[in-house]
């Protein structure tokens, strides 16, 4: 079982998104999976450039993005993966820019423009999205950040297989609130939450990783794709 995780935060070590991803991979490893963590912000790549090479009738292979950049070998490895876990901070109510670019390149080559619309990805695999955000859960819900995640979940499910979503809310933004403009936040409450609730989010991520590595997603009769 090969599990690939992707960190869509530019903060590559110790911060919220990467910590949750590392916990998910620890969970996957604990049940024998081989794991890989790809730091999206270490790679130079673009989003989809709408060249439609992946839709050409004369294409030699399905599900291949024609753009050649640092993402090319990563997308090749996805073809062999048994589960994908994508982590992103919420930036302006969406995934981070690199996560969005990655999702476009990951998903669009598997979009089939034929009548049956099945995904061109040949297998059903487990997937998960892990989101971190500064807003408290109630505010995130009120604004609709949690609804935003539904579109990505749908696209992942249509192409790959069941997609779990884990939200970690009200995250710690800085290590020292006194060094930054932060009147808008209750520093003590943030620090307390990070000490008391974030470890629970890490535990949930660990368990998500165990699930990703231990169960197979059934192949549904018909998987419509979304774009
Ligand atoms: C450019 C930018 C935009 C952000 N926009 C939002 C937002 O719309 N909603 C929110 O709840 N948090 C927002 N945040 C906070 C981050 O989502 C939050 O701190 C996240 O946990 C950071 O993840 P990291 O620690 O892995 O980098 C934003 C942060 C940055 C830097």
- Which CATH number covers residue 162? 3.40.50.360
pLDDT for position 221 = 47
Q: What is the pTM of this model?
A: 0.95
Q: Beta strand pairing status for 83-91 and 94-95?
A: antiparallel
Atom index in ligand 1 nearest the CA of residue 19 equals 26
Asked if residue 220 is part of any domain, the answer here is no
Those residues with Cβ within 8 angstroms of residue 189's Cβ, 6 or more apart along the chain or in another chain: none
Q: What is the pLDDT of residues 129-151, one digit of tens each?
A: 999 999 999 999 999 887 889 99
Atom index in ligand 1 nearest the CA of residue 168 equals 21
Owning domain of residue 48? 2-214
pLDDT tens over the chain, length 227 residues:
999 999 999 999 999 999 999 999 999 999 999 999 999 999 999 999 999 999 999 999 999 999 999 999 999 999 999 999 999 999 999 999 999 999 999 999 999 988 887 899 999 999 999 999 999 999 999 998 878 899 999 999 999 999 999 999 999 999 999 999 999 999 999 999 999 999 999 999 999 999 999 976 555 444 444 45
Asked if residue 170 is part of any domain, the answer here is yes
For 211-214, the CB contacts below 8 A with 24+ separation are 211/27, 211/126, 211/164, 212/3, 212/24, 212/27, 212/28, 212/33, 212/83, 212/85, 212/126, 212/128, 212/164, 213/1, 213/3, 213/27, 213/28, 213/29, 213/31, 213/32, 213/33, 213/82, 213/83, 214/31
CB of residue 93 inside a 6 A radius of ligand 1: yes
Asked if residue 222 is part of any domain, the answer here is no
pLDDT for position 226 = 47
Could you give the C-alpha distances from 108 to 2, 52, 64, 116, 215, in angstroms and in order? 22, 9, 9, 16, 26
> In total, how many domains does the chain have?
1
pLDDT for position 59 = 95
Asked if residue 113 is part of any domain, the answer here is yes
Which residue's CA lies nearest to atom 23 of ligand 1? 89
Maximum separation of any 2 CA atoms in the chain, in Å: 60
Atom index in ligand 1 nearest the CA of residue 139 equals 11
CB of residue 144 inside a 6 A radius of ligand 1: no
Spacing, Cα 17 to ligand 1 middle (Å)? 10
Asked if residue 125 is part of any domain, the answer here is yes
Asked if residue 12 is part of any domain, the answer here is yes
Which residue's CA lies nearest to atom 8 of ligand 1? 92
Spacing, Cα 7 to ligand 1 middle (Å)? 14
Which residue's CA lies nearest to atom 6 of ligand 1? 91
Asked if residue 184 is part of any domain, the answer here is yes
Spacing, Cα 96 to ligand 1 middle (Å)? 9
> Which residues face 37 on adjacent strands?
5
Q: What is the pLDDT of residues 149-183, one digit of tens each?
A: 999 999 999 999 999 999 999 999 999 999 999 99
């Amino acid at each position: 079982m090969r599990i690939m995780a992707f960190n869509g935060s530019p903060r590559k070590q110790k911060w919220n998104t990467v910590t949750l991803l590392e916990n998910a991979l620890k969970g996957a490893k604990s049940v024998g999976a081989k794991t890989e963590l790809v730091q999206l912000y270490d790679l130079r790549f673009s989003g989809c450039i709408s060249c439609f090479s992946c839709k050409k009738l004369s294409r030699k292979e399905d599900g291949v993005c024609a753009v050649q950049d640092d993402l090319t070998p990563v997308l090749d490895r996805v073809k062999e993966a048994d589960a994908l876990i994508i982590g992103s901070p919420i930036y302006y109510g969406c995934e981070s820019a690199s996560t969005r670019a990655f999702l476009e390149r990951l998903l669009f080559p598997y979009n089939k423009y034929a009548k049956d619309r099945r995904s061109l990805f040949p297998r059903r695999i487990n997937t998960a999205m892990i989101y971190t955000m500064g807003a408290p859960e109630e505010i995130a819900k009120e604004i609709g950040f949690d609804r935003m995640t539904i579109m990505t979940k749908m696209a992942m499910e249509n192409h790959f297989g069941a997609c779990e979503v884990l939200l970690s809310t009200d995250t710690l933004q800085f290590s020292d609130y006194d060094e930054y403009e932060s009147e808008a936040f209750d520093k003590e409450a943030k620090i307390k939450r990070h000490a008391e609730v974030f470890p629970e989010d890490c535990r949930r991520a660990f368990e998500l990783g165990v699930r990703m590595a231990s169960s197979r997603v059934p192949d549904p009769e018909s998987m419509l794709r979304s774009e």
